[in-house]
Amino acid sequence: MKKLVVLYFMIAFVITGCAQTQVQTISVDDFEKQLLATKAEQLIDVRTPQEFAKYHIQSAQNIDLRSPNFKKEIEKLDKTKPVLVYCLSGVRSAAAARIIAAAGFKTVYNLDGGINAWSKARKPMVDDLSGVGEMSAKEYSDSVSSNGFVLVDFYAPWCVPCRKVLPIVENLKQNYSEKFKLVTVDFDKNRLLAKQQNIVAVPYLIIFKDGKKIWEKQGEATKEELMKILELE
């Protein structure tokens, strides 16, 4: 009987603790509303400092989830006020939200889809658009102005569809090396170029012929689809 009483109080404690903390994964629009309501006082970007430096949501603090000091830094925040967290796609921030909730914070909001979804919705961001270390607009123009066919693939290492498309275009290039030129562009490392080309989501494929754009597509493309346009059949 005594054991049952102890068990009851343990369960009640866990339930009460969970009830006190509200962890919500919310849409881009709802996240933006919470930012305005809280004046972004406790907006946390849990990506790496390198990712944060390249682009982030305005007013965000960078507390890297993978840092050994993550929990220590979180403890500096006000537990009575809402915490808004995001990462690249929502995976790391979901894990961070659970840690923050377990630390005793009352309300935690997680951005569904991360900054990828935020960017795709064309919400305001702080971008490093200096172009330092990037492919310049002139270099890009020179690359796609070649005679014959040029296939451009804007991709990102974190993008699942990109990881499906990239092997396809690389395999085509390997088998038809004299038929077309392949230009691959890392979206994250070329933010200025992507902005100049009005590309906000990846994969993004473009085909030029003799310097003229003849086809483009945001999203996945099949090998057969690309072969037909590149006249490789």
Quick one: how far is CA 2 from the chain centroid?
52
- Residue from 60, 159, 202, 226 carrying the catalytic annotation: 159
- Closest C-alpha among 55, 53, 35 to residue 43: 35
What is the spatial distance between Cα 6 and Cα 13, in angstroms, rounded to a whole number?
11
Q: Is 192 exposed, middle or buried (0-12, 13-18, 19+ CB in 10 A)?
A: middle
Told to judge if 87 belongs to the known catalytic residues of this protein, a careful annotator would answer no
**Could you tell me if 200 and 120 are in contact, meaning their C-beta atoms sit under 8 angstroms apart?**
yes
Catalytic-residue membership of 159: yes
Chain mean position to CA 124: 14
**Calpha distance 63→85 (Å, rounded):** 10
Alpha-carbon distance values, 14 to 18, 164, 197, 220 (Å)? 6, 43, 52, 45
Among 43, 162, 168, 202, which one carries the catalytic annotation? 162
Please state whether beta strands 126-127 and 107-111 pair in parallel, antiparallel, or not at all (unpaired).
unpaired
* Residues taking part in catalysis: 159, 162
